[in-house]
């Protein structure tokens, strides 16, 4: 009852909403425009909360209705989610508040008859007869997406449905694509660049972190996050993000690479076959049994493209073997290598399309990741070409 009263479209909000949308807009166009409008507001969940004295000085109203959020141009994550619902109702869109358990904190227990376990508000808007779940209270979250903590989350739609479970994230919408271009000298020195291209939850994480922290802290945390992505002896210096302020585009992190990567033994030269995975910490490998469920937060696609520019007078003796390892309907690992003159391109793709697994499924998960760990430890071996003898 409280939520229905809070989101009831007032005359003032109807005027606001009619100024944002156009009469000829489709339902989807109206929803997108309103979503973009509330995303521009100051979301105090990602900024400093004002003191009472500051609120009085800035003439900010105490929030009683959705109108007050718009007048203040600010609110917390639930305020902004409910404001979106009120604005959508103002232009006759069919939309319902949804309250779910934050999956980063707990799982819904239907036997516990208390609404105190419900945390956050989402919006369930009906577009062309289909449910579209939106997360307007999550700053920088693209339209049509949910923060991972609100996916596969149980709760209640305050409308005409039974208890609901929100949709999962597809691995196709949660991608980290790592691209490296590396020049290797005969003494093992390496120099080049790496790019991380992120869409979905990883991009949202760094965008939200940048709202709550200064640039130096974000750079420090990204450097810490990527430290195990590079072989021993390699230094990776994070340069900058591109696209940090545009949630509709992929987020790109630029990294400079230097150091020493090779190991020379007699006539042979050894390099990590899977550059980004030579120090990889593979989950689920060490323990062969498990009695609790597995939660990996969200499905994901990891793609690596590494180009080695190899030293002159060396030929490729052995490269990482092609791999096409599958856990049917759950995960897939693909590895390939393509030589071209003194260059070698190695690609790796790991897709896992699961989020929650029961302990009974753990043996298959353990077996798959053992195969992944073995494949990722392959080396690239080069052989020195003897110098041509003179006459």
The confidence score (pLDDT) of residue 267 equals 83
* pLDDT bucket at 14, cuts 50 / 70 / 90: very high
More confident residue, 309 or 50: 309
Distance of alpha carbon 237 from alpha carbon 219, whole angstroms: 10
pTM above 0.85, yes or no: yes
Distance of alpha carbon 340 from alpha carbon 287, whole angstroms: 41
Residue 98 scores a pLDDT above 90: yes
Average pLDDT over residues 205-211: 96
Q: How does 107-117 read in b/e, with b if 16+ C-beta sit within 10 Å?
A: ebeeeeeeeeb
Average pLDDT over residues 213-237: 94
Average pLDDT over residues 374-390: 84
DSSP code for 285: S
- Whether 100 contacts 154, CB under 8 Å: yes
* pLDDT bucket at 48, cuts 50 / 70 / 90: low
Average pLDDT over residues 146-150: 97
Selection from 215, 204, 48, 87 nearest residue 138 by Cα: 204
Average pLDDT over residues 30-34: 98
Selection from 332, 334, 372, 336 nearest residue 354 by Cα: 332
Strand partners, 95: 125
Average pLDDT over residues 282-292: 92
Average pLDDT over residues 6-25: 94
Selection from 197, 142, 196, 150 nearest residue 169 by Cα: 150
Q: What is the torsional sign of CA 149, 153, 155, 160?
A: positive
Distance of alpha carbon 381 from alpha carbon 358, whole angstroms: 41
């Amino acid at each position: 009852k409280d939520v229905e009263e809070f989101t009831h479209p007032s005359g003032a909000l109807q005027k606001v909403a009619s100024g944002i949308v156009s009469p000829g807009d489709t339902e989807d166009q109206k929803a997108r425009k309103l979503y973009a409008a509330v995303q521009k507001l100051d979301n105090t969940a990602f900024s400093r909360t004002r003191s009472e004295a500051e609120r009085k000085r800035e003439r900010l109203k105490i929030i009683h209705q959705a109108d007050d959020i718009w007048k203040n141009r600010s609110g917390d994550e639930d305020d902004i989610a409910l404001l979106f619902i009120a604005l959508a109702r103002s232009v006759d869109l069919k939309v319902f508040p949804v309250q779910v358990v934050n999956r980063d904190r707990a799982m819904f227990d239907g036997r516990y008859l208390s609404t105190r376990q419900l945390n956050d508000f989402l919006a369930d808007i009906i577009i062309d007869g289909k449910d579209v779940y939106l997360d307007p209270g999550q700053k920088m979250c693209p339209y049509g997406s949910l923060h991972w903590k609100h996916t596969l989350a149980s709760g209640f739609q305050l409308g005409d449905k039974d208890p609901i479970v929100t949709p999962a994230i597809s691995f196709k919408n949660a991608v980290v694509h790592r691209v490296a271009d590396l020049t290797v000298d005969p003494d093992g020195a390496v120099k080049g660049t790496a790019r991380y291209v992120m869409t979905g939850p990883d991009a949202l994480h760094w965008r939200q972190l940048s709202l709550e922290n200064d640039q130096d802290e974000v750079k420090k945390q990204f450097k810490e996050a990527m430290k195990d992505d590079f072989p021993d002896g390699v230094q990776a210096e994070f340069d900058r993000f591109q696209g940090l302020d545009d949630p509709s585009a992929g987020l790109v992190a630029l990294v400079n690479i230097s150091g020493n990567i090779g190991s020379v033994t007699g006539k042979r030269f050894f390099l990590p076959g899977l550059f980004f995975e030579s120090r990889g910490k593979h989950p689920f490998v060490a323990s062969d049994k498990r009695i609790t469920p597995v939660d990996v937060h969200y499905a994901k696609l990891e793609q690596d493209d590494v180009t080695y520019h190899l030293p002159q007078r060396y030929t490729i003796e052995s490269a990482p073997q092609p791999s096409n390892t599958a856990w049917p309907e759950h995960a897939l690992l693909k590895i390939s290598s393509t030589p071209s003159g003194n260059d070698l391109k190695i690609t790796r793709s790991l897709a896992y399309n699961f989020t929650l697994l029961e302990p009974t499924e753990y043996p298959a998960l353990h077996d798959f990741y053992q195969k992944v760990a073995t494949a990722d430890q392959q080396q690239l071996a080069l052989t020195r070409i003897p110098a041509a003898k003179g006459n």
